[in-house]
Structure 1
Amino acid sequence: MCQHCNYTIHAAQHHFGWDNANAPVERVAPGSTIAFECKDASAGQLGPDSVLADLIAMDPGKANPVTGPIFVDGAEPGDILKVTLEQFTPSGFGWTANIPGFGLLADQFKDPALHIWDYDAAGMTPALFGPAARVPLKPFAGTLGNAPAEMGQHSIIPPRRVGGNMDIRDLTAGVEIYLPVEVAGALFSIGDTHAAQGDGEVCGTAIESPMDVVLTLDLIKQTPLTMPRFTTPGPVTRHLDQKGYEVTTGIGPDLMLGARDAVSGMIDLLCATHALSAVDAYMLCSVCGDLRISEVVDAPNWVVSFYFPRAVFD
């Protein structure tokens, strides 16, 4: 899979919860380049031929598997694990779903829905959504992180100060991300790979897609870090920018309510202008639209904006 990699970690070597008692699947020296086979967020419960009944039957206890953990020699609390994301090799299959009880507008979208994607894994041309929408692709890892200091098993779903399920769509090839180390060896894992996602992942899923990831792990000794940070190698929205955006807003004293209003406004706009069903518009917003905080200083009201790329329909 990777000619210059020091190790390959296979998809079978995965786990479903952060736990500093998990036995490492490999022990590596700082500077090692490693290939990871990452499963999709359903852990393979959904595939290219899946239908809505398969989504309904999914075991939620098998959500968001991560491959690992990796013990990095010399890593100890107070260090930083530097992760350089080298390469993503997508599979060509993906799925997006509305899962009841999950997502920004879960109270409005109570019924399950599923869209299966078949995209060009080699050319990475925009993926078709229905007869008219074409979503630009940008592979990244939704979940990567170290084991937390707290004992016991912790859910993969919420992000943590050591990383985890951050769903930052800009964690793509070329990015360097810095993670706090809280336990000996760091115990790094990665998974939840996506072919595309908008900032916010508003329906709760992106284009969930299994893929292989190559990365390099390095140590920065005794440089305390309280939260993850990262550096991008260049622009982050170039794949979406070329035709401009439609933008809706939410304005008021509550940022979360503002986010909901902005997304609801975009769903209404897409339904009116492109004859989409509401749930299809919601899922499309999740894979390619961006939530942005536009203003937080003009009390008592703040502004949240939702940017939808016009290129998807042009």
Structure 2
Amino acid sequence: MHQHSLHHHARHLGWDRATTPALTLAPGDRVDVHCADASGGQITPDAPVDAVAGLSAERANPLSGPLYVDGAEPGDALAIDILDIHPSGWGWTAIIPGFGLLAEDFPSPHLIVSRHDAQVAEFLPGVRIPVRPFIGTIGVAPVEHGTHAVIPPYRTGGNMDCRDLIPGARLWLPVAVPGALLSLGDTHVAQGDGEVCGTAVEAPMDVQLQITLHKGKGPPSPMLDVPATPLRNEHQRGFCVTTGIGPDLMTAACDAVRHLVDTLCSRHHMRPEDAYCLISVAADLHISEIVDAPHWMVSAYFPNAVIAY
């Protein structure tokens, strides 16, 4: 086993099997990776809201890598153990015009810059969110030639925004090209399932991984082994749950989130923009029912404990 480091210079934009590898690893090696925030440095700790309006989409979600894994061939499984993640002490959450589940409801830019220690992020006055750092974007190069956008996820991983990609988790990815070409970025301090406003608590972080190879055992799509840690630590005061019901899951999800925005504004005298961002980083969307045709139900679970009374 060897230890490697991947620093600021080794970044690229877009998934492409032709990208020159930044490092070559043997199976079993470990690597420390410095990941940029999702804005690629366009938003800083003292940024004004104008920074959101001026964001360049071409610089969004920069990837660190790629990492070439010796012996990896199509059909193999790449197993990535997330050993550790070190948050940076600050993060940002934004409403980006034209982006997010309720983009039509929130057309104007909005920015919340928060500070955090190892346990808690001070998101808004009186609002404290448990820190649960994870990797938002991680994947290998797809088999198709050309450059593929970073924003959507693929069968080979990518911008999955799965809040369980935490230290102690193992991610299994299907190798599609020789060497796998693993890249990662878009690290998050905290996020709710769904990331409804389009951003989590975005922050640069240092990540330590160990990479192993399993010949001929590639899964059909990404798979996780998640450690036995609570999925939600903020259960002490229960949850406020709003729902959306109808024949379309996306519409039901929108309705559940709109109802929760209204509820937080009514109960806690929040601005709608702040409530929407808070839901994105602290509430979880659940598909509560998908078998009772012709209507399905989506629920938005908000942990009451994050707001001080």
One-letter amino acid of the counterpart of residue 65, structure 2: G
SS of alignment partner, residue 18 of structure 1: coil
Indicate whether 1:273 and 2:267 are aligned: yes
| Cα distance per residue 1:71-114 (max 9 Å; x no partner) | 00000000000000000001001100000000000011000000
Q: Which residue of 1 aligns with 2:56?
A: 59
Structure 2: distance between partners of 1:229 and 1:31: 19
Shift of 1:5: 6.4
**Which 10-residue stretch deviates more, 92-101 or 129-138?**
129-138
Structure 1: distance between partners of 2:119 and 2:166: 17
One-letter amino acid of the counterpart of residue 119, structure 2: T
One-letter amino acid of the counterpart of residue 79, structure 2: K
One-letter amino acid of the counterpart of residue 114, structure 1: L
Q: Which residue of 2 aligns with 1:257?
A: 251
One-letter amino acid of the counterpart of residue 50, structure 1: A
Q: Which residue of 2 aligns with 1:179?
A: 173
| Cα distance per residue 1:228-276 (max 9 Å; x no partner) | 0001111342422222110000011111011000000100000000110
Indicate whether 1:22 and 2:16 are aligned: no
Q: Which residue of 2 aligns with 1:44?
A: 41
| Cα distance per residue 1:157-213 (max 9 Å; x no partner) | 000000000000111000001000000000000100000000000000000000000
Q: Which residue of 1 aligns with 2:70?
A: 73
Shift of 1:282: 0.2
Indicate whether 1:129 and 2:126 are aligned: no
SS of alignment partner, residue 241 of structure 1: coil
Indicate whether 1:158 and 2:152 are aligned: yes
What aligned pairs does 1:1-314 form with structure 2 within 5 A after superposition? 6-120=3-117, 124-314=118-308
1:170–1:236 Cα contact (<8 Å) kept: no
TM-score by length of 1: 0.96
Shift of 1:55: 1.6
| Cα distance per residue 1:122-181 (max 9 Å; x no partner) | xx2321222211111100000000000000000000000000000001110000010000
Structure 1: distance between partners of 2:198 and 2:241: 20
2:39–2:60 Cα contact (<8 Å) kept: yes
Structure 2: distance between partners of 1:196 and 1:159: 19
1:137–1:239 Cα contact (<8 Å) kept: no
One-letter amino acid of the counterpart of residue 47, structure 2: S
**Which 10-residue stretch deviates more, 53-62 or 12-21?**
53-62
SS of alignment partner, residue 155 of structure 1: coil
Structure 1 gaps, min length 5 = none
One-letter amino acid of the counterpart of residue 45, structure 1: Q
Structure 1: distance between partners of 2:30 and 2:218: 24
Structure 1: distance between partners of 2:124 and 2:75: 49
Structure 2: distance between partners of 1:215 and 1:239: 25
Structure 2: distance between partners of 1:238 and 1:260: 22
RMSD across aligned positions (CA) = 1.1
2:36–2:187 Cα contact (<8 Å) kept: yes
